[in-house]
Amino acid sequence: MMTNEILRVGFPTNDCVNVEEHFGHCERFVVFSVKDGEIVNKEILEAPEHAPGVFPKFIADNNINVVITGGMGQRAIDLIKANGGQVILGAAGNIKDILNVYLSGSLYSKGSACAHHHHDEDHKCEH
């Protein structure tokens, strides 16, 4: 990362404390701005309505560089990456703890994309 560059790391959440298991089902995003390894700002953003392509556009519009989540559909992953973003899957638990692991360079994506059944509103992501 270049000096003086702000890295924006976003976490989908419902309670603003823990990572939401599925990216597309969250109510909010906690977004940390990080400069030279230090957290310089924390924002809580209301998530947009869940519809195809809306969340990746929201990520790009809010200049979020990295999304750390439990699971995400392959289309959303592809759209975020196409906009220059990074996706880390398989995260669970306390957002602040996960952010600290990420900033230490020890967090790696360990999940796989969720298979969606587009007409099933009760979709559960199995990993």
Residue 101 predicted with pLDDT over 90: yes
* Domain-embedded: residue 119: no
Q: What is the pLDDT of residues 11-23, one digit of tens each?
A: 999 999 999 988 9
Q: Average pLDDT, stretch 34-40?
A: 94
* Domain-embedded: residue 53: yes
Residues 2-33 as b or e (16 or more Cβ within 10 Å = b): eeeeebbbbbbbeeeebbbbbbbbbebbbbbb
* Domain-embedded: residue 110: no
Number of Cβ atoms within 10 Å of the Cβ of 113:
16
Global pTM value: 0.85
* Domain-embedded: residue 24: yes
* Domain-embedded: residue 80: yes
Q: Which domain holds residue 90?
A: 6-103
**Domains in the chain: how many in total?**
1
Q: Average pLDDT, stretch 98-119?
A: 78
* Domain-embedded: residue 19: yes
CATH number, domain with residue 23: 3.30.420.130
Q: What is the pLDDT of residues 50-87, one digit of tens each?
A: 888 999 999 999 999 999 999 999 999 999 999 999 99
